[in-house]
Chains A and B, each alone.
Chain A
Amino acid sequence: MSAAAPKVDAVRVDDRGIWFRTGDGGDDVVDVCFDGRRVWSFWLQRDSVPGDGGRLAGWPSALVRFLDGSTRLSLVAHVSGATLYDEEVRLGTGEGRIAVVSPEGKPLGLDKSNRLSQTFDSRTPEQVAPLLDSIAQVLDAISDAGVEAFLAYGTLLGAVRQGGLIGHDSDADLGYVSGHTHPVDVMLESFRVQRHLGELGFDTYRYSGIAFRVDVIEGDGFRRGLDVFGGFIAEPVGDRAPVLYLMGEIGAPFEREWIYPLTTATLEGRTFPVPANPEKLLEATYGSGWRVPDPAYHFETPRTTVRRLNGWFRGIRVLRSEWERRLSQHRGKPAPDRGSALAELVVAREGVPAQVVDLGAGRAGDALWFARQGASATALDFVPRAAEAARQAAVSEGHDLTVREVNLLSLRSVLAEGARLAHSAGPRVVLARHVVDATTPAGRAGAWRLCEMALRDGGQLYLEFWAGDGRRLHEGQLLAAVPTAQVVAELEARGAVIVHREEQQVERVPDTPEGSTGRTVARLVAQWQR
Chain B
Amino acid sequence: MAAVKRNLRQRVARRVAGDLVARIDELEAEVQENRNLNLRVAELVDLVQELLIPVASQDRERIDAALAKFQRSL
Interface of A toward B, CB cutoff 8 Å: 183-184, 187-188, 191, 194-195, 198, 206, 209, 307-308, 310-316, 404-405, 407, 410-413, 415-417, 419-420, 423
Contacts and interface: CB of A to CB of B under 8 A. Distances in A.
Given A311-B36, A312-B35, A315-B39, A416 B74 contact: yes
Contacts of B58: none
B8 interface: no
Contacts of B38: 183-184, 187, 209, 311-313
A411 B73 contact: no
Given A209-B42, A411-B44, A420-B68, A198 B32 contact: no
Given A198-B72, A313-B38, A410 B67 contact: no
**Interface SS, B side:** helix
A316 B31 CA distance: 19
A183 B70 contact: no
Contacts of B70: 412, 416
A410 B74 CA distance: 9
Given A188-B45, A411-B47, A312 B74 contact: no
B64 interface: yes
B25 interface: no
A420 B71 contact: yes
Contacts of A417: 71
A311 B45 contact: no
8 tightest Cβ-Cβ pairs between the two chains A and B: A311-B35, A187-B42, A411-B43, A183-B38, A195-B73, A412-B43, A184-B42, A311-B32
A184 B41 contact: yes
A420 B67 contact: yes
**Interface SS, A side:** helix
B6 interface: no
Q: Which of A188, A311, A314, A407 has the most CB of B within 10 A?
A: A311
Q: Which of A412, A415, A417 has the most CB of B within 10 A?
A: A412
Contacts of B28: 307
Q: Which of B40, B42, B49 has the most CB of A within 10 A?
A: B42
Given A410-B74, A411-B44, A416 B39 contact: no
